[in-house]
Amino acid sequence: MAIGVGKGGRLFNLHTKDSTYQMYADEYGILLHTYYGRRIDEENLSDLIFHADVGFSGNPPEAVGDRTYSLDCLPQELPSDGVGDYRESCVALLHKDGSMAADYRFEGYELMDSSYKVAGMPSLYDNEEEKGETLVITMREKVSHVVVRLLYGVFEQENVITRSVQVENYGENEIVLSKCLSCCLDFQYGEYDLITFVGRHTLERSPERNRVGRTKLEIGSLRGTSSHQYNPAMILCAPEATEDFGDCYGLCLVYSSNFTACAQKDQRGQTRVLMGIQPNHFSFLLKKGEVFDAPQVILSYSDSGLAKLSHQYHKILREHMCRGKYQCAKRPVLLNNWEATYFDFNKEKLISLGEQAAELGIEMLVLDDGWFGKRDDDNSGLGDWFANEKKLGSSLKELGDRIHALGMKFGLWFEPEMISENSNLYRTHPDWAFMIPGREPNRARNQLVLDMSRDDVREYLLERMTDILEHAPIDYVKWDVNRSLCDIYSHKYAGNRNGEVYHRFILGVYDLLEHLLERFPDILLEGCSGGGGRFDAAMLYYSPQIWCSDNTDAVNRLYIQYGTSFFYPISSMGAHVSAVPNHQTARITSFRTRGHVALSGSFGYELDLNKITDEEREMVKEQIAEFHKYHSLIHEGTYYRITPPGGRFCAWEFVDEKKDHALQTLVMTSAEGNPLPVHTIVKGLSPDKDYHCSANNQIHSGRTWMGAGLTLSAIPGEYESVLIEWNAMGKK
């Protein structure tokens, strides 16, 4: 068993292959966090807690006379709120009498031999290869009739532990849940850095590393999506931690809406880390018998650096979060028409693109924005999900049939969660849009947001999307979200329940996605929010690939894909070859480099094939051949960050499971006169096998390659790239 229970049912050890997480319910019912780190035996480590009389840190009534016992100093799994722990809390309550105290005490536990599910939200699931285990610890609020269940899941071989929270009101009085975070980690000792992933639209998920101190480090979103600005994942690590050395703790929130994540030292140097739903603009009313479920946090620990931590997240998300036909299947190489035509297209243009694409080996044509309603720009039509056959010059079925006749698949763009005021839907149902009565709303991209918490809104969207997908041969759907949420007001939850709307909105999105995929299980769904504005673990449950960024510039993509790789599988990153000068940066890079960068993701094109040269057409064929040749290596292999972007060159590497084949991509990002040699390190090979290297035609042992590295015989020019292969020759 991965979960051990001892000391009269009060000591809990969660074991993975390489780690242990320990808790102990003490004599007062406080659930103490005693250890998380390298795998250990099951001895009670509560003796590591140092008790002292700390000024201005009071004592609970049970510990009367013992001034060394204070909630303000103890490492806890579920910190109480307003009763003596002055640090950040997890679950805060507003009682009928206006008081806000919440004092949680241990009541009992339950073990389950499978993974738990979070109601209405994605969570890691069991598969045939590995079945998780679950520990449920029940904590009861000391005075009110509120129970908090702490859910812990263990995936032993994957080195993953999950956490979630469930709050239930057993009392006659209504309770307002004013804060509900999913995870608290208290570390009694040690210095730590916090790595977060920050950015903006078209430059998402750049790693930012800061030392944890008394000043709180906090990221989060209030945008109704997980956001371009802050990703809901972070790493707590030793200050000396590198790719291959040091203790690292990952926290990844399975949630696509407003979130918070923070780390802070307390007065005694202990570090508290919290993650969950953003408490700003959040409140949730619980009547008698009602339950609130918080999203899951995926924890993982590495004792040997950041690379191992990333490998653990790649594997767990690819195998226990992604689902469906395309979870592991090779995805078609696609051509998206957006940067080729924008809104200016018709059947003839699209079929011409399809014909050229088919000749070059591209396998799917995707029709992006502009095919529906009155939609010749981004100022109208959203919500009117009816094909504009006058603009197209045909029905979607006729167009799809023509594309299929070319031997290609056909894909379609949707933005279901949004609505234009200049639309028939808005004129018919203005109350379906978020807009506060008496206030003029913010408009972004000249559009408003549909209230996805409403059943009638979701029923309409499901009916329209089902009608389109049933009557046209559509193999792929790109699901986009092109603005942040604000002006939140739901006519359904008006009054004192509008604090529930952000959360109910994303539950509605999940519900619609689930029903759509139940109806069309063979559709390949690609998530998108202006690129990477909703790139999170929860969306991978529905869309095994997500458009990584609206920025397709190959050099900027080095940074974006690098940051994304710390948590998310390479197979999840939508990456395309686009035209130059690049439409976002005006940078000019070689066609080869654009292909090599896009190869490290779900591969495709976003350009006008009418405007590329004959030489580039031949390169498209070569790139597609490379995609097929290296697909399993890139999408299923182990990924190594060889160098970060920002230096003279950027390099990364893939190694297959048997360590027979490795592929390194190297991109030069600067040029200089009288250049120094280009020397790169090599990772992941078997020390006891010999490998032939394509770059210099030499054979060395894996031990030698990994020790000595490789010096390129020729130095690529600025923004040029090379692929380097190592193939095993057999054991020494």
Give the distance between the most distant pair of CA atoms in the chain.
Answer: 86
Residues 6+ apart with CB under 8 A from 210: 193, 194, 196, 217
Which residues are annotated as catalytic?
536, 616
Ramachandran region of residue 524, left (φ > 0), alpha (ψ -120 to 50) or beta? beta
Pairing of strands 334-336, 602-606: parallel
Strand partners, 237: 193, 248
Helix (H, G, I), strand (E, B) or coil at 611: helix
Specify the amino acid at residue 223: R
Q: Helices 591-599 & 614-636, crossing angle to 10 degrees?
A: 20
Helix (H, G, I), strand (E, B) or coil at 520: coil
Helix (H, G, I), strand (E, B) or coil at 402: helix
Cα distances (Å, whole numbers) of residue 247 to 188, 190, 566, 694 = 15, 11, 15, 35
Q: Which phi and psi angles does 182 have, rounded to 5°?
A: -90, -20
Distance of alpha carbon 560 from alpha carbon 548, whole angstroms: 8
Cα distances (Å, whole numbers) of residue 414 to 163, 395, 482, 668 = 33, 17, 11, 37
Q: Helices 455-471 & 501-519, crossing angle to 10 degrees?
A: 30
Sign, Cα dihedral of 287, 123, 260, 49 = positive
Distance of alpha carbon 303 from alpha carbon 249, whole angstroms: 9
Residue count (the chain): 732
Rg of the chain on CA atoms, in Å = 27
Distance of alpha carbon 506 from alpha carbon 646, whole angstroms: 36
SS3 content of the chain, % helix, strand, coil (to 5): 20, 30, 45
Distance of alpha carbon 651 from alpha carbon 643, whole angstroms: 5
Sheet with 11-15, side-by-side order of all strands = 3-6, 11-15, 19-25, 31-38
Cα distances (Å, whole numbers) of residue 356 to 473, 526, 619, 624, 643 = 20, 24, 14, 14, 37
